[in-house]
Structure 1
Amino acid sequence: MAISPKARPYLLVLTLVLVVAGIVVAEMPHERQAAPTTTGATPGAPTPPVAGRDGGAGAGDPYYPEDGNTGYDVLAYDVDVEYDPATRRLEGVATVTARATADLDRFNLDLYRLQVTGVDVRGQAADHHQEGDHELVIVPPSPLVGGEEFTTTVRYGGEPTVVEDRALGRSGWQVSRGGGAFAAGEPHSATTWFPANDTPRDKATFALTARVPEGWSVMSNGLLERDPVTTGGRTEFRWVARDPMATYLTTIAIDRWTVERSTLPDGTPVVDAYAPGAENARAHQRRLPEVLAFLAEEFGPYPFEAAGGIFLADEIGFSLETQTRPVYAGWADLETVVHENAHQWFGDSVSLESWADICLNECFASYAQWLWDEAKEGGDLDARYLGELERVGDRDSYWGRRLYDMGRGNEFRGVYDKGQLALHALRRQIGDEDFDEVLKGWIAGHRGGNASWPEFEAHVERVSGQDLDGFFAAWFRGDGVPADEYLYPGSLRR
């Protein structure tokens, strides 16, 4: 994710205010409401708790412990929605294919403020009720057996609700300025428009069938499985993404798109979509083949079956690395294209284990911008690094932001700028050859999966043969100015 230039000073100021005031960052707005609301197979009769083997509500993320669920592993989402921009109403049927990881009498999915009208498990009606803002509790007609593969079909509808975030503004489902809609956001987005196991640990394939009024069109992840078909004044689109992805990397975008198709030199299909008013973005996106070729040299082969971009005219607070096809805000520039596509390796192919590990996504995508500047513009990164050190001095508002395990609400307050310095220092600490091996080996070793920051530290030490505990403590786990031995390693030494 790239942050709007207008938002960056705000993040620094907010950090300083919190430090001065001694305030603990408030809980994010994704928290459940205390009083549950219920629906069920019998209207008005919520299903009572079932004694026995329950799938856990919450996957145990240290910052968002109620996100996601346990007891099963999702294999595939197949989402079918109909949306009318005039009424802003969404009607959906989601089929979730999963494998039980334990014997279960009940389990949960996450769905944010949309009304569930029916649930089937294994093709049979299942009791269900909704709790708080986003918990859907499901009781199958008969217990699930550990290791069993099963399908759950959820019928739901309503007007999707945006998630308000104090740092990044609005995320999830949003109405675009042209009257359409799109879904993008981090860490929460997917559940504003379909039921999911909303944790990045549970990656799954994703397919979307979407019907919209004639004249509108739909963009999403992956590839169009078939040509759009218009019947009865509505056009149906079918998108399929065969590489597993974290739920927050899914997207739907509805607008009167101008769509351009091309292929990369290796034959990978590229689909780009421009909203009315976003035509100027073409100049940046036309360099996508060059960008992806460069990133492949740095990180290894491009990891997915499709590429492209979705360019909004809306001035939202971020652009996001939605898998195969990033969503770009109206302010996005070439550096943003580099950043979001670097995420296809760091964040999408190799996804974080928990939100404490966000540096694995943002630090590397941000440093990719420096690498691009060095390779394409002749930038002197040592000079840039030293200039940044001089600019920030010993400001606690800068150095006090940890890059690993920074605390809930602080995930995006240091990883972009301080993260660039930290990775450049690491590169100088271990040398270019080992740094190159670190990047490529990390991606190759974790492709399609999840990984944590402690695993990355161990990986760097294996490749370099160095004991780097002091370095990582100073730069990534610490909240002060690193000692000179870590601040000026290698060619940076004064």
Structure 2
Amino acid sequence: MRSRDSSRLATVVCAIGVLVAGCTPTLPDEPADPARPVPAPTPGVPTPGAAGAGDPYYPFDGNGGYDALGYEVSFSYDPASRRFEGDTTVTLRATQDLSRFNLDLRGFDVRSVEVAGRQAEFAREGEFELVVTPAQQITAGATVSARVRYDGTPLAAAPGSLGDNGWQQSASGGAFVLGEPHSAAFWFPVNETPRDKAKFTVNARVPSDWQVMSIGREQPGPTADGWTTTTWIEDRPVASYLTTVAIDRFTIERGALSDGTPVIDAYAPGAEQRRESVGRVPEVIEFLSGRFGPYPQGSAGGIHLQADIGFSLETQGRPTYAQWADLETVVHELAHQWYGNSVSVQSWADICLNECLASYAQWLWSEGTTGENLDDRYRLAVDRFRADNGFWAPKLYDMGPGKEFDGVYDKGILAVHALRRQLGEQRFDRVLRGWADHNLGGNASWPEFETFVGEIAGEDLRGFFDAWFRGTVIPAEEYLYPAPPR
């Protein structure tokens, strides 16, 4: 994610002609609806799945008791009436003997639920819990499908510090859904936690004078009775907040990377003028692949909105961009395809794994394309903020709920550059490439990253990591300006 507003770090580096973004989204707290008492699972005794996935920052997000393997979301949407008719099938594998389980869904009228082809009981609880009780209890290890039919007018997006997250209307009369951490549940029933990545397919039916964009590979479908269906298939695991759908009268350009990976850029009405500045996806991916390793996604491109929202988002393979997005935003969101999308956080406390590394990619791009001396840039920033206690106060790891993004876009960039100086070029390159490759398609935590880096460094880096990533004051000089590696 990258915000419209520049950070305090951007203020100083703008003096040397480069903009660094700083965004501080607030992840809204869930309603104070107490969790239902759920007994600890006992082998052979079916019990309800937990009403949350276990992230201590947002305990109501996601659900327990199963692993979502894939989503097939089919819907019809009429921009004129704003009516949405959804039919979603979730393939899940039980991780315990289940008497019931939850899905997350915001709004809509649920018409029916089937589990393993049989009608299931269902109820709505709290703000977004869809509680499903199957006709037959599910045995641990069993794989079943849960089909939910629902309809209505989608809920308006929920407010956040960077702008609304969820379902939104476009200026042209279309719609899009976007946000972090909550967006998927605004349009399909989902286990809404990055801990449970799954494959994703969407079959979108809209009036024929509109187009639909999403993530994954495109499969054009039929047109009948004035409606067109388009299918998008993402066969790599994806965290739910990295899915999206956008409906507009797009101008669409298609191409391919050198390895044949399809590139699709879609420009909403009014956004076509940005094609020269942001339509450089193959060039950016080639550059980043040289630093991070092979491109880890099966599709590429961008969805370019003509919407003055507060952020752009790294929706998987095909980021979604606000109208203010520039080339550095493209670099940032594409860097997330390695750090954040392929390697996803285990918990929101680990968000520096996404944002600190993707933000530093902007510096790498400047270094690689303009020859900028990043040591000079770093020293200028440190000198500018040396006495600014507020700049150093945010923690970069385990910062607390609602504070996840406070420092990752400015202090986080400096921390990664200091790590580069601590490790030296060769070992730093091994970290960038090795971390993405070692965790390809999975989840990881910040403590795991520290262990990984320490093994490559061959030395104890606890002092460095504590000073930069857990500290709330300016690091000591030995960590601000590490000695050259031995």
Q: Do the structures match in fold with TM over 0.5? A: yes
In the other structure, the counterpart of 1:155 is 149
Q: Which of these residues, 65, 69, 80, is aligned with residue 74 of structure 2?
A: 80
In the other structure, the counterpart of 1:275 is 268
Q: Which of these residues, 326, 334, 337, is aligned with residue 327 of structure 2?
A: 334
Pairing 1:93–2:93 present: no
Partner AA of 2:370 in structure 1:
E
Q: Is the 8 A contact 1:284 1:337 kept in 2?
A: no
In the other structure, the counterpart of 1:31 is 30
Secondary structure of 1:228's aligned partner:
strand
1:27–1:386 distance in 2 versus 1, CA, 3 Å? closer
1:33–1:178 distance in 2 versus 1, CA, 3 Å? farther
- Provide the rounded CA distance (Å) in 2 between the counterparts of 1:257 and 1:490: 52
Q: Is the 8 A contact 1:30 1:163 kept in 2?
A: no
In the other structure, the counterpart of 1:40 is none
Q: Which of these residues, 390, 405, 416, is aligned with residue 412 of structure 1?
A: 405
- Provide the rounded CA distance (Å) in 2 between the counterparts of 1:334 and 1:95: 37
Secondary structure of 1:240's aligned partner:
strand
Deviation digits for residues 117-145 of structure 1 (CA, Å, limit 9, x no counterpart): 11000011100000111100000001000
Q: Which of these residues, 365, 374, 379, is aligned with residue 381 of structure 1?
A: 374
Q: Is the 8 A contact 2:157 2:168 kept in 1?
A: no
- Provide the rounded CA distance (Å) in 2 between the counterparts of 1:68 and 1:254: 27
- Provide the rounded CA distance (Å) in 1 between the counterparts of 2:367 and 2:360: 11
Deviation digits for residues 176-215 of structure 1 (CA, Å, limit 9, x no counterpart): 1111111111111100110000010100000000111120
- Give the drift of 1:33: 6.4
Q: Is the 8 A contact 1:27 1:409 kept in 2?
A: yes
Pairing 1:469–2:462 present: yes
Which stretch of the first structure deviates more once superposed, 402-411 or 137-146?
Answer: 402-411
Q: Map 1:21-420 onto structure 2 (within 5 A).
A: 29=28, 31-32=30-31, 34=33, 53-225=47-219, 227-420=220-413
**Aligned Cα RMSD in Å?**
2.0
- Give the drift of 1:274: 0.2
Deviation digits for residues 319-376 of structure 1 (CA, Å, limit 9, x no counterpart): 0000010000000000000000000000000000000000000000000000000010
- Provide the rounded CA distance (Å) in 2 between the counterparts of 1:277 and 1:33: 42
- Provide the rounded CA distance (Å) in 2 between the counterparts of 1:321 and 1:28: 17
Deviation digits for residues 245-285 of structure 1 (CA, Å, limit 9, x no counterpart): 00000000000001000011111110110000101221133
In the other structure, the counterpart of 2:38 is none
1:357–1:143 distance in 2 versus 1, CA, 3 Å? same
- Give the drift of 1:466: 1.5
Pairing 1:488–2:462 present: no
Secondary structure of 2:375's aligned partner:
helix
Secondary structure of 1:363's aligned partner:
helix
Secondary structure of 1:210's aligned partner:
strand
Structure 2 length-normalised TM: 0.92
- Provide the rounded CA distance (Å) in 1 between the counterparts of 2:56 and 2:32: 20
Report sequence identity in percent. Answer: 56
Partner AA of 2:451 in structure 1:
A
Unaligned runs of 5+ residues in structure 2 are: 12-23, 36-44
In the other structure, the counterpart of 2:17 is none
Secondary structure of 2:260's aligned partner:
coil
- Provide the rounded CA distance (Å) in 2 between the counterparts of 1:414 and 1:271: 33
Secondary structure of 2:428's aligned partner:
helix
Structure 1 length-normalised TM: 0.91
- Provide the rounded CA distance (Å) in 1 between the counterparts of 2:161 and 2:398: 18
Unaligned runs of 5+ residues in structure 1 are: 13-24, 37-50
Partner AA of 1:194 in structure 2:
F
- Provide the rounded CA distance (Å) in 2 between the counterparts of 1:395 and 1:156: 52
Partner AA of 2:70 in structure 1:
A
- Give the drift of 1:31: 1.6
Q: Which of these residues, 415, 420, 429, is aligned with residue 422 of structure 1?
A: 415
Give the number of equivalent residue pairs. Answer: 463
Partner AA of 1:103 in structure 2:
D
- Provide the rounded CA distance (Å) in 2 between the counterparts of 1:412 and 1:457: 19
Deviation digits for residues 416-449 of structure 1 (CA, Å, limit 9, x no counterpart): 1111100000000010100000111111110000
Partner AA of 1:150 in structure 2:
V
1:322–1:357 distance in 2 versus 1, CA, 3 Å? same
Q: Is the 8 A contact 1:163 1:188 kept in 2?
A: no
- Provide the rounded CA distance (Å) in 2 between the counterparts of 1:425 and 1:280: 38
Q: Is the 8 A contact 2:165 2:182 kept in 1?
A: yes
Q: Is the 8 A contact 2:420 2:428 kept in 1?
A: yes
Deviation digits for residues 278-309 of structure 1 (CA, Å, limit 9, x no counterpart): 01221133321110011101100001111010
Secondary structure of 2:113's aligned partner:
strand
Partner AA of 1:133 in structure 2:
E
